[in-house]
Amino acid sequence: MNEREPYVSVIIPCLNEERFIRKCLESVVANDYPKDRLEVLVVDGMSKDGTRMIIDEFVRQNPFIKLLENPKKITPIAMNIGIKSADGEIIMKMDAHTKYDSDYISKCVRYLYEFKADNVGGILKMLPAENTYFAQGIVFSLSHPFGVGNSYFRIGSRRPKWVDTVSFGCYRKQVFEKIGLYDENLVRGQDMDLNLRLKRAGGKALLHPEIIGHYYAKPNLMVFVKHNWNNGLWAILPFLYTKGMPVSLRHVVPIAFVATLIISGILGLVMRPFLWLFLGIIVTYIFANLSASSEITWRERDLRYIAVMPLIFVLLHVSYGLGSLWGSMKLLTTPGFWKKLMGKYGVHSKIPE
């Protein structure tokens, strides 16, 4: 056993990942980190497709891979099951929808110590899940600043940088002893919440561009819209469970865009200034959308993307924004929310539960 390398526990939550789990586990097995200093805990949410059979195959062939069960299915519970079962001094989250470069684990560990970080992650390079222009366009939208803002783990970075959150994450185990485990209320957004708690406790998260994973994006527009609606919903619902601002500014831009459009459009029917505001927003958005779409079309040297990309950007932003609006309505009608909100900021009220 190589005592010079820290012992690493990789946790992979998964649910019905028959299409991608083999590629994920093959890339993990192919990693150059010493296998006698590694354990891989695949936490399955009771998959009903062929996922379990594929995992069992890898478990039989690789003694460092173990299968754990997550009857409640959601990701933060899977992570907490893995953390409680882990023997490693380093806890690394990996995604079943992703395949990893052969030096992914070793670079995460190396830079965790080299930069004295508490969490390290890398760049997610998007891959199309289908061989279609729409699937490729979805990839482009999730890798472009117009699509995802300053999400550096998606758009990339030329140099290492301290960030609010990273994709997945490689943590020192004592981080969880200090700030607690994943919040099991958060179906999504649990990584952002964990990293914000880490930052408030004085910890640091590093994004390093040499650490690379390859994520398979959604295969078609219907799945893409549904996914972004849920992402938008869970950009808002964490306000029920967390203290302070639980998301970054980029997560609330879509709801501001959609809400302003709706309000100005309605008021514009009776008040001309709001009509001009509505038209101004529409014209500005169309110009920005066509500029980004033209840039992608020119880069790819394929005119078909000038027809595909504007639609995909609209679906990305509007579905996310509408999901956030729905989340806001759920939030505002939740019993006790207003009292909890004011109590959070030290304001006492007689508002009933």
Q: Count other C-beta atoms under 10 Å from residue 140's C-beta.
A: 24
Q: Which pLDDT value is given to residue 106? A: 97
Q: Which pLDDT value is given to residue 1? A: 40
Report the percent of the chain where pLDDT is more than 90: 79
Q: Which pLDDT value is given to residue 247? A: 77
CB neighbour class for 197 (10 Å; exposed up to 12, middle 13-18, buried from 19): buried
Query: What pLDDT digit, counting tens, does each position of 313-328 carry?
Result: 999 999 999 999 999 9
Q: Which pLDDT value is given to residue 184? A: 93
Query: Which domains occur in the chain, in start order?
Result: 8-219 (3.90.550.10), 249-344 (no CATH)
Cα separation, 42 vs 82, whole angstroms: 8
Cα separation, 308 vs 314, whole angstroms: 11
Q: Which pLDDT value is given to residue 339? A: 61
Read off the pTM: 0.89
Residues of the chain with pLDDT under 50: 1-2, 347-353
Q: Which pLDDT value is given to residue 350? A: 47
Cα separation, 147 vs 118, whole angstroms: 29
Q: Which pLDDT value is given to residue 221? A: 96
Residue 120 near residue 206, CB atoms below 8 Å? yes
